[in-house]
Amino acid sequence: MPEKVVIIGSGPAGWTAAIYAARANLDPLVFAGRPKQMPALVLPGGQLMLTTEVENYPGFPKGITGPELMAALEQQAVRFATRIQTDDGQNPDVSNPDDGHSYKYHDCKHVDLSSRPFKIIGEDDRVIEAHAVIIATGATANWLGLENEMRLARSGGGVSACAVCDGALPIFRGKELAVVGGGDSAIEEATYLTKFASKVYLIHRRDQLRASKIMAQRAADNPKIEILWNKIVIDVLGDEKISALRLRDTQDKKESELPVGGLFLAIGHTPATAFLDGQLELDSKGYIKLTDPYRTATSIEGVFAAGDVVDSVYRQAITAAGMGCKAAIDAERWLADQGIE
Q: Which of 166, 308, 311, 330 is catalytic?
A: 166
φ and ψ at residue 22, rounded to 5 degrees:
-65, -40
DSSP state, 69?
H
* 292 belongs to the catalytic site: no
Measured distance CA(222)–CA(208) in Å, rounded? 17
What average pLDDT is seen over the chain?
A: 90
Which letter does DSSP use for residue 164 in this model?
H
Choose the catalytic residue: 108, 112, 125, 165.
Answer: 165
Confidence of residue 317 (pLDDT cuts 50, 70, 90): very high
| More confident of the two residues 49 and 290 | 290
Q: What is the rounded CA–CA span in Å between residue 179 and residue 313?
A: 18
Q: Give the model's pLDDT for residue 52.
A: 66
Note the pLDDT tens digit of each residue in 16-53: 999 999 999 999 999 998 766 444 455 676 777 766 67
Q: How far is residue 183 CA from its own chain's centroid?
A: 19
Query: Residue type for 126, please?
Result: R
Which of 31, 22, 115 shows the shortest CA–CA distance to 332? 22
Phi/psi at 303 (5° precision): -115, 125
Instruction: Count helices and strands (H / E) in the chain.
Output: 7, 18
Q: Looking at 27, 88, 125, 162, which residue is catalytic?
A: 162
Query: Do residues 186 and 202 make contact, with C-beta atoms less than 8 angstroms apart?
Result: yes
277 classed as catalytic = no
Is 325 a known active-site residue? no
Given this model, what pLDDT does residue 38 score? 40
Domains of the chain and any CATH numbers: 3-140+269-337 (3.50.50.60), 143-265 (3.50.50.60)
Strands (E), the chain: 3-8, 29-31, 83-86, 89-90, 108-112, 118-122, 127-135, 139-141, 159-160, 176-180, 199-203, 225-228, 231-237, 244-249, 255-259, 262-265, 269-271, 303-305
Q: What pLDDT, in 10s, does the model give residues 84-139? A: 998 766 655 554 544 444 447 788 999 999 999 999 999 889 999 999 999 999 99
- Give this prediction's pTM: 0.82
